[in-house]
Structure 1
């Protein structure tokens, strides 16, 4: 966002070994420090950060074979290990060039690979959780490097156990991607209506991965979501708020034209315990009430329909809602972090007053209150 003050000290890790050594030393010092990838999803106060910023800059991506005791890579797939400091969009471009499918709809997302599992990045019908195999993790509590399967990360909508407080450092990530015979081969079904419209196909149709990547980049650029130093609409942290998840009952109280997307429900456990299970020590199950259906709302729609239009800015402020997309707060040149936070608070209050919904910021905030 080009706002915020400096850190007291800056360290750069150009290799995994340096990343481990710096992080371990910083934990031993017990001084405040922060780990940064590209910083694209971070907003720091104008006073800066009172400690050390450690930049992950270990790069590289290469196929790997399963370690001893691990399941074999399924036929038709490639297991790709990507270092934490590797540029995400450069990775997507390289995979498309090789015909490796599974992350092409995540094109144009700024930042580095190590940050991708922290909030389970997603866009245009794809999420990292669909292809993440595992991560290599430096655990603060044990001081050991261990491999964590994707299931251990409890990945959800822009969420993971890493975001909720598991302390450590992501050193690398392993992706399980589909191998296409040719780069012109179709990808997985198109799973996002806006993308399908842009491609001129129906939802569920298949298109070549390069065509899909190019279309995603055009869509993102049209929303100011591809970094461009000449475009102030891209001087942002991307989507500033997550799409709210509410009960279907609450969603019915909203205007009929409010977009809503039903969430997939977990399969309920059977209410009957078999004699075999009882003999094996399984506790007797009791019938459980069906969980209330949940739906995801459009944060952009809520903002716009609460009276905050594209291009809106508070008087005298250098921060403004993007002129292309109401979900982004942008720096129009000379904005302060305080002005960004002030505008974010205004948006939160307008949506709360209009719809009774509390918007949640998506970026990581340091020294700022929303």
Structure 2
């Protein structure tokens, strides 16, 4: 277990932003993770748990407490059942599952971050989300001071949400278990229109597993969503805003504001309608590359707010607020940030 004082946090995030941690602990085993969390709780010390740092916006003042960096490793495959340690690099785990000929997470290729973060956010992309494959999550319950195993149903998954996100002070994910699919080298059915168009197939069809994997990597790279230290378009937290889910009344008001324009619309649970945050941002006047300061929109994708190399967290949040307020004025829709905010808020 490595302990560092006054340790910089910016290099541990994909945005490369944020001030230092008073104390940074890097834990390589579940036992070290639990011991660190338990010690912080007994001392009533603020605790921040991070993995790959891909979904974090940390304030410029840093974190006055203990930051626990989970660096555990473990990739265990038993037939179609996969168990990942929380510290496993997610993109590497997806590649290994594809190499094993198993479908179920191939459309989540190239997503940065750690395996342990995926159930917290119910990570999803290109018509697939981890909730569809997770069978169990093993976590340390800080309230009960014990290791618990939660079934898929007990995780409370919904769009970019989970029990872990709803109660962030309670659980620390240790391991994630998936049930994948042996489809004779084929992918799960293609559900996302952009992927189907790129592959030249109809929605619902299957394609070669490796073809699906490589296609998604290509699409993500084209949007600056695959990490590349030399490309500032990838110095981001991925999609900064979630796609808005509107109630029937909200959607009716939205349609009135649209006038003759047609916005993307997808059915959502409880009679709601989901629309595209990227479309709203663009139509509100914030195109690719918008901004003149050290934080701008990506030149490849309007949903990614990027650090051009010298930005501060204050710079990034200033841009985020400008975009949020512009969309609200134009369409009456409130955009919600997807990354977790540490010491700051929109």
Task: Tell whether the structures are fold-level matches, with TM greater than 0.5.
Answer: yes
Q: CA deviation at 1:306?
A: 0.7
Partners of 1:199 and 1:212 in 2: CA distance: 8
- For the Cα contact (< 8 Å) 2:37–2:47, is it kept in 1? no
Q: RMSD of the alignment, in Å?
A: 1.2
Structure with greater helix percent = 2
Partners of 1:153 and 1:180 in 2: CA distance: 27
2:15 pairs with 1:13: no
Q: Match of 2:342? A: 366
Cα deviation code 1:114-158 (max 9, x no counterpart): 010001000001010100000111101110111110100110000
Q: Secondary structure at the match of 1:236?
A: coil
Within 5 Å, give how 1:233-252 maps onto structure 2. 233-252=233-252
- For the Cα contact (< 8 Å) 2:296–2:319, is it kept in 1? yes
Q: Match of 2:263? A: 258
Within 5 Å, give how 1:77-92 maps onto structure 2. 78-92=80-94
Q: Secondary structure at the match of 2:45?
A: coil
2:119 pairs with 1:117: yes
Q: CA deviation at 1:36?
A: 0.3
Match among 47, 55, 62 for residue 61 of structure 2: 47
Partners of 2:224 and 2:82 in 1: CA distance: 30
2:300 pairs with 1:298: no
2:198 pairs with 1:220: no
Within 5 Å, give how 1:275-354 maps onto structure 2. 293-314=271-292, 317-354=293-330
Moved runs in structure 1, 4+ residues, more than 3 A?
Answer: none
Match among 163, 166, 179 for residue 165 of structure 2: 163
Q: Match of 1:143? A: 145
- For the Cα contact (< 8 Å) 2:122–2:130, is it kept in 1? yes
Partners of 1:128 and 1:159 in 2: CA distance: 11
Q: Secondary structure at the match of 1:353?
A: helix
Q: How many residues align?
A: 326
Q: CA deviation at 1:249?
A: 4.5
2:153 pairs with 1:177: no
Q: Match of 2:10? A: none
Q: Match of 2:7? A: none
Q: CA deviation at 1:41?
A: 0.5
Q: Match of 1:278? A: none
Query: Greater Rg, structure 1 or structure 2?
Result: 1
* Structure 1: runs of 5+ lacking an equivalent: 65-76, 266-290
* Structure 2: runs of 5+ lacking an equivalent: 1-14
Q: CA deviation at 1:248?
A: 3.9
Q: Secondary structure at the match of 2:72?
A: coil
Q: Secondary structure at the match of 1:35?
A: strand
Deviates more, 1:161-170 or 1:329-338: 161-170
Cα deviation code 1:9-36 (max 9, x no counterpart): 1101111111111111111111111000
Q: Match of 1:286? A: none
Partners of 1:328 and 1:107 in 2: CA distance: 18
Q: CA deviation at 1:168?
A: 1.8
